[in-house]
Structure 1
Amino acid sequence: MNQSAAKLLRDLMPYLGLILLIGYFSLSSEFFLNARNFERLATDSATLMLVAFGMTLVILIGEIDLSVSAVVGLLSVILAQIMVAGMAWPVAMVLVILISVGIGTLNGAITVYGQIPSFIVTLGMLAIATGLAFVFTGAISVAILQYDFLDLFYSEQIFGLPIPLVIVALAFVACLLTLNRTRFGRELFAVGANMEAARLSGVPVKQRKVAVFAIMGLLVGLGAILSAARLGNGAPGSSPTLTLDAIAAVIIGGASLFGGWASVLRTLLGALLIAVLNNGMVLMNVNIDAQYIVKGVIILFAVVLERLASGVRT
């Protein structure tokens, strides 16, 4: 495949993939086009979309966060436990978000100031978060019994849209405007493209990288809250494929794993593709192990395609 053909296929992949999947599952399952299924698909994919937006920023600056799934599980456990202890759900939500931003900031600070690759730092955080979640719960899920909280994120709507989708829309617009309309966003592209050149141009590279991990923490915290509300409990290992799905969404969106280019809009399309794929495979009773294989093939294909489109010998 030549470079121009690879570029065209890379650019069309999110659109073509989404159309083909919708067509295939529509023909393969009588339940896919059901209105109730679409509603479930939208709410189930909210956490993935939020995390994918954050992962877009992280990958844009040439880093990675492998701790997402474990941190979401830990935060959902903390949220459920402090609500069971009697804390009002609005206060519990704020506390969980602060903890999540702290975790993200810590990941960034260790990566930047410790000069340790982010995949190692976040792999360590994955182990810590997983262990803490199981220690806190004894591997038993913690039920959330504050029904106002559950109703808010499961039943309530604004302008006819479920609350989770409203949160996703606000996060999408915020990330889109940040990347395309602010100096901060332009500096992130510069950091990802050439960190040393960005530093010589006056960009505070270290601060920007830590800020991106903090933003990732914020979005992960919101995602954990939506995940806990959807499941009605906090449980370790509640989102086992979330990290894989988020990275897949960003790569399908055409982002370079080496940093320097990413698109929140294309990530949204990638996340929709993964959400439809997840939903369709569940409706067709595809084995969970086979689902991993399918996603792995998609990621490898997207990475190779990106390298070919960039003119790099693979």
Structure 2
Amino acid sequence: MALDLSSLEMVALLETPTGFAFFHVYENLCKGPKNLWSWFINDEVADNVIFLLEFIKFEDKSVAWKSGGPGLLLTRAIKKYCGKSIQLIVGDVELRGVIKSNLNVKCFENEDVIFELMWGLKHVLSYYVRQERGNITLEYRLPLSQGLKDCMSKYEVIIPTEAIDRTFVGCASALHRCDVLLEHYRKRLPEICEPFLPGIREIVNGDIPYAEVVAKILTPDRVQDCNPFEGLSDDVVKKIKDVAANNAGKKVDRAKHRLIYGIARDVRKFPGYRTDLLQTLKSLADKRSGRQKRSQTEILNGQAAKMDTVLVLMLMVYA
């Protein structure tokens, strides 16, 4: 099936060990650098935000940087993929200058986003360009993503740079996504439920109790094994029931019914996932650093990697 070039949003040019690779990049990915790194743990996740356009092998890559550059092969590819409205993302500042000067191509200039994107593309390159699988070294994948470093700092995880592998990055991404989702849900659930149950958020303290209460009232057919009023004071329970009774005529449509139940369920479950992921991440760091000779991390690795994909896709659904 022929590629529809009119559907391209942004194009990234990545220098590889033996050539150059062109990737299509969805524009939303480049709005900011904060969470960008977490999309690049494997091809299954990265496929949601990029896809390979072309790989060009070079005998001598230096031609791209010469004054008359970037050379015939790159020039043809750039002109093919980058129309008047398509921005080209180039990691190397000097090469970017050559392309802008000689080809009059519009280039993306947010250096923080470019840095994170280039790290991500290098991290998943072997999935997309098989010819480079034996050529990717630790030095090629460095320096480390700033977003990943910030994540490690946040969770107080210490691990040598050379010991960071795909399993570790996948687990870190899953944990990061879990926190992103929880933060999103804390804001989103009241936004959806307040029109049906005004004031409940101020009555019920805590994210999990609130999620349980609104799910029980608004999606009772799906929440049958939960008593959200257990542990609440009689006064709070009365206020909740009064609000529910006064707004009983407001009907929840099918789409919101499904959304409320799904988010409330995840607000209850994700703190447990987060605890498991954090423990796994720290165990991985200890093992990779030689601080832990024997562990059960292998048992948890598959669970963490699988959970990562689920969390990323869920973020796309609910965001």
User: Same fold judged by TM-score > 0.5?
Assistant: no
Normalised by the size of structure 1, how large is the TM-score? 0.23
Higher relative strand content: 2
Which one has the bigger helix percentage?
A: 1
Q: TM-score, normalised by structure 2?
A: 0.22
> Highest Rg: 1 or 2?
2
